[in-house]
Amino acid sequence: MTRWSSCGLLLACMLVAARPAAAQEAAGPRTYDLTLEQALGLARARSPSVRVAHARSGEARGRLVDAEMLLRANPTVDVGGGPRIGPGGTSADVDIGVGQVFELGGQRGARIEGANAEVDRTTATADDTSRRILRDVAASFLRARHAEERLRIAADAESLAAELHRVAGRRHDAGDVGVLDVNLAALTLASVQADLRTIEAARARALGDLRVLLGLEPDAAIAVRGDLLDRRRHALSDLLVRVSDRADLRALDAASRTADAEVRLGEARAWPALGLRLGYAREEDAHIALVALTLTLPFFDRGQGLEATAHARGQALRIERESTGAAVRAEVRAAFDTYQRLLGAVEQFEQNGLPQIAQSEALAGRSYAEGAMQLGEWLAIRRELVEARVTHADLLLNTALAGVELEAEAGVQR
C-alpha cells in the first residue's frame, strides 16, 4: 500500500512540474512589441555580445586582486636536525627558520597601476562592443520598420492594381477596350503581388537579424513600431567634443597606461629582492637565535626585456591613438555632413512632392475609369507615383541610418 502511494505521489509531482512547460507551449511564442528605444534597452540587457564583453572585464578585476597582494612570495619554513656525535657522546641538533622575500623598487605599485589600467581597458572595450551592437540593432530595427512602410505602399498598390483589373474587365465587357488592357491590368496585379512577397522576405530577414542581436528566443515574434525617422538634430562642435570619450579611444588610452606601468615594473626589477630569515637553532646544550638577510642581485635579469617590450608597445599604442583619433574626427565630420544633406532632402521632398502623390493617384484612376485616359498612360502615372512613395520611404531609411551611423561614430549613446 505504501509503495503504491509513493508512486502516485511521484506521478503527481511530475505532472505538476510539466504543467508550466505545457502551458507555455500552448501559449505559443512570445511576442515583443518594440519601439527603437525599447529595442536598444533590450540590447543593453540581453545582447549576447554585450554580456560576454562585460563578463570578460571581470578577468581584469581578478588580475587586480592578484596585483594588490601585499607580498608576492609566500613565506617559507625550513626545519633541519640530526644527531651530533662527538667525544662527549651524542646529542640532537635542531635548526628551524622562517623566511620571507620582499620586493623593492615599487614593483607592487607598478603592478597595481597596470592592473587598474587593464580594468579600464576591458571596461572600455566592453563599452565599444555595446556601441557597435547598438548601432547594428538600430540599423536592423530601422530596416524592419522600412519594410513595414514598403509593405503598406505595396498593399495600397495591390488594392489599386486590383481595382484597375476590375475596371479594365468592366470596360472590356462594355466594349470600350480590348483584351490587351485586361491582360496588362492582370500582369500589373501579379507584379505588385510578387513585389509584396519580396518585401515580406526582407522584413523577415531584418527581424531575424534583430532577434539574434537581442538574444531573443528563436521563435519569438517581433513587432516594430514608431517613426522611421526621428529627425534629431546635432551640433557638430558638440559631437567633436564627445569623440575623445569614445569607447575604443578610451581603450587605447588605457592600453597605453598599461604599457607605461609595465615599463616602470621593468625598471623596478633592477632593484635587488630582499629576503629576511628568522631562525632558531640548538647545538648540544646551546640555544641560538638566528637572523639572516639575503639579497638577490640583479646581475643578469634586470627587467630589461620587459621594459624594452613595454616601451615599444606603448609607443605603438600612442601612434595608433593619435591616428585613430584623427580618423574618427574626420569620419564624424563626413557622417554629420551626410546626415544633414539627407535630412534636408527629406524635408524638401515632403514639402514639394509628397502632397501631390495621393491627389494624382485619385485623378489618374478616375480619368481611366471614365475613359479619358489610355491604360498605358495610367500605368505610367501609377508607376511614377508608386516610385515616388518608395523614394520617400527609402529616403527616410537612408537618413535614419545616417543618423545612427553619426551617433555611433561620435560615441553618442542613444
pLDDT, tens digit (0-9, with 9 covering 90-100), for 224-253: 998 888 888 888 999 998 888 899 999 999
Contacts of 298 (CB under 8 A, 6+ apart): 269, 270, 271, 272
Is 227 within the bounds of a domain? yes
Contacts of 206 (CB under 8 A, 6+ apart): 140, 141, 143, 144, 146, 147
Residue 378 binned pLDDT confidence (cut-offs 50, 70, 90): low
Is 6 within the bounds of a domain? no
* Listed residue (37, 407, 41) closest to 232, CA to CA: 407
Model pLDDT, residue 17: 46
Is 336 within the bounds of a domain? yes
Q: Is pLDDT at 342 greater than 90 in this prediction?
A: yes
Task: Name the helix (H) or strand (E) containing 325.
Answer: helix 304-352
Is 114 within the bounds of a domain? yes
Q: Which grid cell sits at 266? A: 621593468
> The CATH number of the domain where 357 resides is what?
1.20.1600.10
* Full residue range of the structural domain in which residue 306 is found: 29-410
Amino acid at site 103: E
Q: Is pLDDT at 315 greater than 90 in this prediction?
A: yes
Q: Please report where in the chains the cell 494624382 appears, as a residue.
A: 360
Is 133 within the bounds of a domain? yes
Is 10 within the bounds of a domain? no
Per residue in 159-181, pLDDT (tens digit) is 777 777 777 777 677 776 677 77
* Integer angstrom CA distances of residue 13 from 18, 24, 26, 177: 9, 18, 20, 75
Contacts of 110 (CB under 8 A, 6+ apart): 261, 262, 264, 265, 268
Bridging pattern class, strands 286-296 and 273-283 = antiparallel
397 by Cβ neighbours in 10 Å (0-12 / 13-18 / 19+) ranks as buried
Looking at the 3D structure of the chain, how many domains does it have? 1
Residue 388 binned pLDDT confidence (cut-offs 50, 70, 90): confident
d(CA 56, CA 46): 16
Per residue in 296-308, pLDDT (tens digit) is 888 888 888 888 9
Model pLDDT, residue 409: 92
Is 327 within the bounds of a domain? yes
| Average pLDDT of the chain, as a whole number | 82
Is 362 within the bounds of a domain? yes
Q: pTM of the entire structure?
A: 0.78
Give the residue-averaged pLDDT of 205-215: 91
Query: What's the per-residue H, E or C state across 147-205?
Result: HHHHHHHHHHHHHHHHHHHHHHHHHHHCCCCCHHHHHHHHHHHHHHHHHHHHHHHHHHH
